[in-house]
Amino acid sequence: MITTITSSHDPRLDPLRLNERQLTTIAQRRSTLAAGRFIAEGDLVVARALAAGCRPEVVLCDAAQAARFATEVSRLGGECLTADIEIRRQATGLGVPLSALGVFFRPESKTIQQVLAQATRIVVVEAVDNPSNIGAIVRCATGLGWNGLICDSTSADPLSRRGLRVSMGSAFNLPFARTDDLVKTLQDLRKNDFEIFALTPEHDSQDISTIDLDPSHKRAIVLGSEREGLSRAALNAADARVKISMNQNTDSLNVAAAAAIACFALR
């Protein structure tokens, strides 16, 4: 069913007026429990959210995208709205309204053990608090065949508005869990037969291009914040410390760029 909206003051548009902090608090986004809602921007991200079975509250579209999404939105319990460009501009606050914009309920979170049980290549992040970096890491990981993500409690949310936009919705295809104790999680990885590679520019770390890999072994990459890098505790919990060789006048790469290289080199 498609509902045509004729006024920007229609209360059915209210969820789309809320900002991200109103939809989901920081505590909810960084919790190990699923709570709140997220925003899917653009027809590609909306399509991938629906394909992943995420439950929509409301999706606002132009006429073409409304016809495309209405059946699935209704099947999953949401409301599909359509309106002209000016109403969509006023409702969303976007100068150039997207062809589709949806508010979805956050899916149930996976536990660490659930991720470990189904993944063989896991990316672990510590204190990566920029949503754009998280989104880019997710996109690199999924594109290069990694199949699990674990974030500590200080890292940004893969389902944040910006994170989803940068990942192009690929976060819906990457099993994800949050940890409150990174060192314990790394110990759990080792108990589950994962080799753990901590990425660091420290001089005594091994060049990532020289790592001898057994294709049958499960493995995890651990990435830290752009400024501080990995904590000493995280470095000590890894099986190996690896670095990316670079120009000697450059101290480090953007964490998302480093993730892409590491995911390719260690896949």
Q: What is the pLDDT of residues 176-206, one digit of tens each?
A: 999 999 999 999 999 999 999 999 998 899 9
pTM score, two decimals?
A: 0.92
Question: At the fourth CATH level, which superfamily is domain 112-265?
Answer: SPOUT methyltransferase, trefoil knot domain (3.40.1280.10)
Nearest to 173 by CA among 222, 207, 139, 124: 139
Count Cα neighbours of 11 within 13 Å in the Cβ-side half-sphere.
Answer: 0
Contact 53, 76 (CB under 8 A): yes
Nearest to 234 by CA among 220, 246, 245, 244: 220
pLDDT of residue 26: 61
For the four alpha carbons of 15, 17, 20 and 22, in that order, the dihedral sign comes to negative
Gap between the Cα atoms of 18 and 41, Å rounded: 14
Gap between the Cα atoms of 157 and 173, Å rounded: 15
Mean pLDDT of the chain: 93
If DSSP codes are grouped into helix, strand and coil, which group holds residue 252? coil
Q: What are the residue ranges spanned by the domains of the chain?
A: 2-105, 112-265
Q: Averaged over 86-113, what is the pLDDT?
A: 91
CATH T-level assignment (fold) for domain 2-105: 60s Ribosomal Protein L30; Chain: A; (3.30.1330)
Task: Identify each DSSP E strand in the chain by its residue range.
Answer: 2-4, 37-41, 56-61, 79-82, 100-105, 121-125, 148-152, 176-179, 194-199, 206-207, 218-223, 240-243
Q: Averaged over 14-41, what is the pLDDT?
A: 73
pLDDT digits (tens, 9 = 90+) for 27-40: 655 554 446 899 99
Nearest to 16 by CA among 61, 73, 70: 61
